[in-house]
């Protein structure tokens, strides 16, 4: 698929500077919404301005800054399926597990309509996304790999960032798991593969292999 056939919008929520992504194919009016954050009105405005209908909400994991907009989108489009890795599904409705209680938010998302596991392919809005389970930041964290674009694209959530990785000091975090998942699931992809993280700018597999101080060559990996 050509770059010109694909439209991607990054919408940043204040507070945690979390990235939500709206992805669509140019010949369609449906789209995918990844990790809607704590300012869902920005996402709703974008969808309405461009006459887009979300075909699925995809959560890479269940932390509050990545699920804060689920309820608002589901309220507007009740039939839009909410998708998350099976291991993180309990976080959606539990403020303790999704870490919002610690900030006094008591955030509760609608429950998952669909849960996904490693190796599955989830299809909606013309996209076929390969599910990569990469625990370590959270136990049920998944990334969504789109192979039909050149270069390939991965919505990685909080697995890896430009020059950093996701925190592993949460109750279900584990650095060794996270590092192993990055090496086995991401660093085996072509170096041109675009990584779209939950915070900060996009990066590539090649860039992180060469320069990431936690899991790249600089870290002796």
Q: Which mean pLDDT values do the consecutive 10-residue runs of the chain (221 residues) have?
A: 80 95 96 98 98 98 98 98 98 98 93 98 98 98 98 98 97 97 98 98 98 91 66
pLDDT of residue 9: 98
User: Among all chains, which residue has been given the structure tokens 């006459």?
Assistant: 51
pTM over 0.95: yes
The CATH number linked to 210 is 3.60.15.10
d(CA 43, CA 25): 17
Q: Is 196 helix (H, G, I), strand (E, B) or coil?
A: strand
Q: Classify the phi-psi angles of 87: left when phi > 0, otherwise alpha if psi is within -120 to 50, otherwise beta.
A: alpha
Locate 117 and state its tokens. Answer: 């596991």
Domain with 130, as residue range(s), is: 3-219
Taking alpha carbons only, the member of 98, 124, 112 closest to residue 37 is: 98
DSSP-assigned letter for residue 152: -
pLDDT of residue 219: 81
Total structural domains within the chain: 1
pLDDT of residue 103: 87
Q: Is 77 helix (H, G, I), strand (E, B) or coil?
A: coil
């Amino acid at each position: 698929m050509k770059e010109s056939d694909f439209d991607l919008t990054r919408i940043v929520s204040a507070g945690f500077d979390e990235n939500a992504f709206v992805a669509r194919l140019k010949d369609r009016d449906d789209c995918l919404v990844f990790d809607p954050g704590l300012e869902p009105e920005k996402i709703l405005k974008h969808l309405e301005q461009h006459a887009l209908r979300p075909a699925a909400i995809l959560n890479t994991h269940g932390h509050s800054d990545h699920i804060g907009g689920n309820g608002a989108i589901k309220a507007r489009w009740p039939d839009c399926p909410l998708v998350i890795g099976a291991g993180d599904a309990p976080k959606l409705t539990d403020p303790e597990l999704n870490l919002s209680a610690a900030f006094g938010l008591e955030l509760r998302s609608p429950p998952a309509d669909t849960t996904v596991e490693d190796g599955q392919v989830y299809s909606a809005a013309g996209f076929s996304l390969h599910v990569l389970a990469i625990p370590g930041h959270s136990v049920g964290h998944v990334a969504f790999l789109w192979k039909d674009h050149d270069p390939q694209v991965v919505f990685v959530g909080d697995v890896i960032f430009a020059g950093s990785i996701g925190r592993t000091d949460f109750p279900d975090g584990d650095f060794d798991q996270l590092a192993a998942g990055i090496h086995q699931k991401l660093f085996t992809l072509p170096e041109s593969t675009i990584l779209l993280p939950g915070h900060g700018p996009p990066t590539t597999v090649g860039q992180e292999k060469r320069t990431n101080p936690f899991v790249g060559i600089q870290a002796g990996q």
